[in-house]
Amino acid sequence: MFHSTRFKLIFSFLCVSFLAGGISLFIGARLLYDAVLMEATNQTRLALNAAEDVYQTHVRFIGLALNITTLGIGFRTSFIERNIPDLVDRLDRMAKNADLDFSGIALSDGRTLCRTGGNAAVDSRTDNPIVRYAMNKGASIAGTITVSRTFLETEAPERAGHIKFYSSQTSCPDAADAEPEESCMAIAAAIPIFEYRTTGRLLGVLYGGRVLNQSTEIVDSARKSAFFDEIQSETTMPAATIFFDTVRIATNMIDQKGNRAVGTRVSGEVKQQVIVRGKEWTQRREDLGDKYISAFMPISDVFGKRVGMLSVATLESNYGAVQRKLIFLFIVATGFGVLSAVGMGYFLARPIMAPVHRLIKASREVSEGNVSPDTGPLSKDREMALLQKTFKDMVESVKRTRMASQNQILQSEKQASVGRLAAGVAHEINNPLTGVLTYTHMLLRRTDINDDIRSDLQVIIESTERVRKIVKGLLDFSRQTKLDPEPTEINRLMDATIKLVENQALLKGVGIHFEAGDNLPMIVLDQNQIQSVFLNMILNALDAAKPSGEITISSRPALSANDIGHPGIEVAIADTGSGMPPEYLSQIFDPFFSTKDVGKGTGLGLSVSLGIVKEHGGTIRVQSEPGKGAAFFIWLPVERQVEQDESAGRGR
């Protein structure tokens, strides 16, 4: 046996396999270690960016809460009339809803009119940095501040009694030998209150903030946003920390006693790189008895002074465990592969392996797209012949199902693309829309504009709100949302929709005629979503119609063609455009299919509309011929409960 060719080949194969496997394991382990370490560093930096977004979101939320409060008519009336009890009540409710530790109103001369809880008297003064900034600049401000123990004991004595204050040269930048006052760090906002109806004179400032010392909300939210669950358990996820100077004032990093490591410090090197030089800094270091990969970025206050740091730290041992596991699996897989190869080489003979190799070659051809591979003649071995026949049957099955599978994959990719597009649209559009709404509402409060302009502003508000609903509808295409149904008159809803496009139709020279059906029953639906469907259909018809063309809209009672006997309302929207060829009719409701020129449509409108109508239990059908325009028929069911209520009302 030892002199047989088979043994020599197997022995030589084993030697080469073990030598190559050993070298590959050594090199692979090193490369794997470097790759894992680099990935850990990149993931930690990404987590730090996510933590910064969470931090800034909380800052913006406080500013938004205060800004909304100052816009209220009741608040301004109470402020002008010095109605202290009402102002205190409003401050308390605002502080509760926005989770503020302190809030108040300062007059333009620096006096405090009132504070949260009513614990301040008129004419009292405290050094409020963010109020001072807002008064000097005459503008709203939101960001990070440092406040003294005296300030917090005056503004929020209950909160001051439960937190730890720290001394920091950062908070006392005067003489080098000056004794820093004990301070804490907070996120706050201040909104100026102007007498804008007359001289625009500054009347006061509404301020409020949240103390960061020993707070858990921001760091815990930042930790959850890291999404490291795939490689780490919940107990070993990255730790987020907020530093005041070099002191941890808020963290979910655990010390050796199992408590949050509040009050511990980092090295002076970190302060030098991050606070002094203002750099984002990443390093591997030992902290609290464990090795971490930590990323830091500076936190600046509203005056531009770097007062602290934001950090995310990941246990290095987490990635070491991943590395060891992968190396172990690599060793096991390599050993199993060697043993399998030896067994196959020892027991399998060439007559058996030859058809196997042909099948392997045929499989590769199938994977490359050839569904008619050559498998050679049938083997004389019964089992191998059966395998060849089964393989041929499988290839035939692949031929039959290939097109269906490709269509399903394409549809799934389209759905995924819509989800990504929806997220991007919501992020990019909602923010500027909020600005449009805010300034339009502010214009409506002016008394020097005439009724025509006021009416136009109201149309702007309604149209902007409709755009926000359209963005919500785009999100609904990729994920189901709960409807907000209410009894609705279809004719009234259609009248309101037509008013939104009257000017656009007038400019193009297209007439819109609405033939409202008589005695239509009430129908339960989500008005905003169905109005979006109507508006999309009318705009499509307006795009298709030529100048001097017409769009005809009608409504009438109709029975469902699917649910026989179920009553409903059918709305028809027809245009005198160029129409569509028959091959388009089966594709127009597919996502991203559009008959418009490139850049003039996304191909999502009809898909979203169909989804909305289906959620209401309705259907959409289309009729069109080239040169004869197109007509869309929207059928919506009448809820039986509404019918019963109407019958009961007629009986009474």
CATH classification at residue 427: 1.20.58
> Is 645 a residue whose pLDDT tops 50?
no
pLDDT tens digits for 228-239? 544 444 445 788
Are 250 and 218 in contact by the 8 Å Cβ rule? The answer is: yes
Amino acid of residue 462: E
Partner residues linked to 202 by β-bridges = 194
396 and 300 in a common domain: no
Cα separation, 458 vs 452, whole angstroms = 10
* 239-243, 330-334, 539-543, range with the lowest pLDDT: 330-334
Q: What is the mean pLDDT of residues 360-367?
A: 76
Partner residues linked to 587 by β-bridges = none
- pTM of structure: 0.47
Supply the DSSP symbol for 260. B
Partner residues linked to 188 by β-bridges = 143, 209
Tokens found for residue 437: 């709404």
Q: What is the mean pLDDT of residues 92-103?
A: 92
* Beta strand residue intervals within 402-491, DSSP E: 486-488
Supply the DSSP symbol for 194. E
Residue 128, in any domain of the structure: yes
Partner residues linked to 432 by β-bridges = none
Tokens found for residue 263: 């009050």
> Is 366 a residue whose pLDDT tops 60?
yes
Number of structural domains (the chain) is: 3
Residue 455, in any domain of the structure: yes
Q: What is the mean pLDDT of residues 504-526?
A: 89
**What pLDDT does residue 651 have?**
41
Tokens found for residue 482: 């709960």
Residue finishing a domain among 457, 478, 499:
478
**What pLDDT does residue 546 have?**
85
Partner residues linked to 594 by β-bridges = none
Partner residues linked to 241 by β-bridges = 251, 311
15 and 117 in a common domain: yes
Residue finishing a domain among 450, 478, 506:
478
519 and 469 in a common domain: no
* Domain extent at residue 543: 482-651
Residue 163, in any domain of the structure: yes
Cα separation, 308 vs 245, whole angstroms = 4
Are 278 and 298 in contact by the 8 Å Cβ rule? The answer is: yes
Q: 3-state DSSP call for residue 109?
A: coil
Q: What is the mean pLDDT of residues 292-305?
A: 91
Residue finishing a domain among 446, 462, 478:
478
Q: Model confidence at 175, in pLDDT bands (50, 70, 90)? A: very low
Cα separation, 250 vs 433, whole angstroms = 35
503 and 402 in a common domain: no
Are 541 and 595 in contact by the 8 Å Cβ rule? The answer is: no
**What pLDDT does residue 4 have?**
45
Tokens found for residue 569: 């309302």
Partner residues linked to 184 by β-bridges = 147
Rounded to the nearest 10 degrees, how much is the dihedral formed by the CA atoms of 552, 558, 562, 564? -170
> Is 306 a residue whose pLDDT tops 90?
yes
**What pLDDT does residue 640 have?**
47
Supply the DSSP symbol for 273. I
Residue 117, in any domain of the structure: yes
Whichever domain contains 278, its CATH number is: 3.30.450.220
Residue 176, in any domain of the structure: yes
> Is 611 a residue whose pLDDT tops 60?
yes
Closest CA to 604 of 530, 540, 523: 540
Closest CA to 207 of 278, 137, 146, 116: 116
554 and 468 in a common domain: no
Q: Which of 1-15, 293-307, 349-363, 463-477 has the highest mean pLDDT?
A: 293-307
Alpha-carbon distance values, 84 to 98, 193, 612, 627 (Å): 21, 16, 49, 71
Instruction: Give residues with Cβ within 8 angstroms of 176, minimum separation 6.
Output: 169
491 and 546 in a common domain: yes
610 and 570 in a common domain: yes
> Is 243 a residue whose pLDDT tops 50?
yes
487 and 470 in a common domain: no
> Is 478 a residue whose pLDDT tops 70?
no
Alpha-carbon distance values, 65 to 59, 62, 445 (Å): 10, 5, 20
Instruction: Give residues with Cβ within 8 angstroms of 543, minimum separation 6.
Output: 577, 596, 600
Supply the DSSP symbol for 301. B
**What pLDDT does residue 600 have?**
47
pLDDT tens digits for 414-425? 665 665 666 566
> Is 109 a residue whose pLDDT tops 90?
no
580 and 450 in a common domain: no
220 and 152 in a common domain: yes
Q: 3-state DSSP call for residue 351?
A: helix
Task: Give the burial class of 98: count Cβ atoms within 10 A of its Cβ; 0-12 exposed, 13-18 middle, 19 or more buried.
Answer: buried
Residue 354, in any domain of the structure: no
**What pLDDT does residue 182 have?**
84
Residue 328, in any domain of the structure: yes
499 and 440 in a common domain: no
Supply the DSSP symbol for 436. H
> Is 566 a residue whose pLDDT tops 90?
no
Residue 351, in any domain of the structure: no
Whichever domain contains 645, its CATH number is: 3.30.565.10
In the numeric block, the tokens 């409960």 are attached to: 641
pLDDT tens digits for 415-474? 656 656 665 666 577 778 778 888 888 888 888 888 888 888 888 888 887 777 666 656
169 and 136 in a common domain: yes
**What pLDDT does residue 205 have?**
93
**What pLDDT does residue 231 have?**
45
**Averaged pLDDT score across all residues of the chain:** 78
Are 282 and 192 in contact by the 8 Å Cβ rule? The answer is: no
Cα separation, 384 vs 67, whole angstroms = 79
